[in-house]
Structure 1
Amino acid sequence: MGEILIGTCSWTDRALVGSGWYPPGRRGAEGRLRHYAERFPVVEADSTYYGLPDERTSRLWAERTPEDFVFDVKAFSLLTGHPTRPAALPPGLPGDVRSPKALDEVWRRFTDGVGPLREAGRLGAVLFQFPPWLRPGARARAVLADCAERTAGWPVCVEFRHPDWWRGPQERTTAEALRSYGFAAVAVDMEPSLPSAVPPVTPVTSPRLAVVRLHGRSPAWGTGSKEDRFRHEYTDGELREWLPRVRALAGRTERVHVLFNNCCADAAVRAATRMRALLDC
Structure 2
Amino acid sequence: MISIGLTGWGDHPTLYSTVTTARDKLFDYSGHFPIVEVDTSFYSIPNNQNIEKWCHDTPANFQFIVKAYQGITGHLRDDLPYETRNDMFQAFLQCANTFQRFGKLAMVLVQFPPWFDCTAKNVNYIRYVKEQLPDLPLAIEFRNQTWYAPQMREKTLQFLQEQSFIHTVCDEPQAGVGSVPLVPVATANKVLFRIHGRNVHGWRNSGNAHNWRKVRFLYDYNEEELQSLSSYVKQLRQQAQDVYVLFNNNSDYHAAPNAQRLKEILGLHFENLSPKQLNIFEGEF
The question of a shared fold, defined as TM-score above 0.5 by the shorter chain, is answered with yes
| CA–CA distance in structure 2, aligned partners of residues 195 and 181 of structure 1 | 25
Q: Is the 2:52–2:98 contact (alpha carbons within 8 Å) kept by the matching residues of 1?
A: yes
Of stretches 145-154 and 73-82 in structure 1, the one that deviates more from structure 2 is 145-154
Aligned residues: 262
Q: 2:169 aligns with which of 168, 184, 187?
A: 187
The Cα shift of 1:43 comes to: 0.4
Q: Structure 2 length normalisation: TM-score?
A: 0.87
| CA–CA distance in structure 2, aligned partners of residues 196 and 108 of structure 1 | 30
| 1:273 matched to 2:260 | yes
| CA–CA distance in structure 2, aligned partners of residues 45 and 191 of structure 1 | 23
| CA–CA distance in structure 2, aligned partners of residues 196 and 33 of structure 1 | 32
User: Which position in structure 2 is the counterpart of 1:81?
Assistant: 74
| CA–CA distance in structure 2, aligned partners of residues 46 and 132 of structure 1 | 18
Cα-Cα RMSD: 1.8
Q: Cα deviations across residues 158-206 of structure 1 (Å, max 9, x unaligned)?
A: 1000011112121111011111211111010112355533111112110
User: Which position in structure 1 is the counterpart of 2:112?
Assistant: 130
Give the secondary structure class of the aligned counterpart of 2:203. coil
Pairing of 1:25-64 with structure 2 (within 5 A) = 25-29=19-23, 31-64=24-57
| CA–CA distance in structure 1, aligned partners of residues 50 and 177 of structure 2 | 39
| CA–CA distance in structure 1, aligned partners of residues 114 and 120 of structure 2 | 16
| 1:143 matched to 2:125 | yes
- Structure 1 residue ranges, 4+ long, deviating more than 6 angstroms after superposition: none
| CA–CA distance in structure 2, aligned partners of residues 193 and 80 of structure 1 | 22
Corresponding letter in the other structure for 1:214: I
The Cα shift of 1:20 comes to: 5.7
Corresponding letter in the other structure for 1:82: H
| CA–CA distance in structure 2, aligned partners of residues 268 and 27 of structure 1 | 21
Change (3 A) 1:85 1:216: farther
| CA–CA distance in structure 2, aligned partners of residues 27 and 114 of structure 1 | 26
Q: Structure 1 length normalisation: TM-score?
A: 0.88
Structure 2 unaligned runs (5+)? 269-285
User: Which position in structure 2 is the counterpart of 1:71?
Assistant: 64
User: Which position in structure 2 is the counterpart of 1:99?
Assistant: none
Give the secondary structure class of the aligned counterpart of 1:128. strand
Q: Cα deviations across residues 86-131 of structure 1 (Å, max 9, x unaligned)?
A: 7x93xxx43xxxxxxx110011111112222111110011000001
Q: 2:7 aligns with which of 6, 9, 13?
A: 9
| 1:24 matched to 2:18 | yes
Q: 1:254 aligns with which of 229, 241, 244?
A: 241
| CA–CA distance in structure 2, aligned partners of residues 37 and 265 of structure 1 | 21
Pairing of 1:197-208 with structure 2 (within 5 A) = 197-206=179-188, 208=189
| CA–CA distance in structure 2, aligned partners of residues 48 and 193 of structure 1 | 27
The Cα shift of 1:147 comes to: 1.1
Q: Is the 1:55–1:114 contact (alpha carbons within 8 Å) kept by the matching residues of 2?
A: no
Change (3 A) 1:198 1:242: same
| 1:169 matched to 2:151 | yes
Give the secondary structure class of the aligned counterpart of 1:221. helix
Change (3 A) 1:193 1:76: closer
Q: Is the 1:21–1:266 contact (alpha carbons within 8 Å) kept by the matching residues of 2?
A: no
User: Which position in structure 1 is the counterpart of 2:221?
Assistant: 234
Percent of matched pairs sharing the same residue? 28
The Cα shift of 1:266 comes to: 2.1
The Cα shift of 1:85 comes to: 11
The Cα shift of 1:272 comes to: 0.6
User: Which position in structure 2 is the counterpart of 1:98?
Assistant: none
Change (3 A) 1:197 1:154: same
Structure 1 unaligned runs (5+)? 95-101
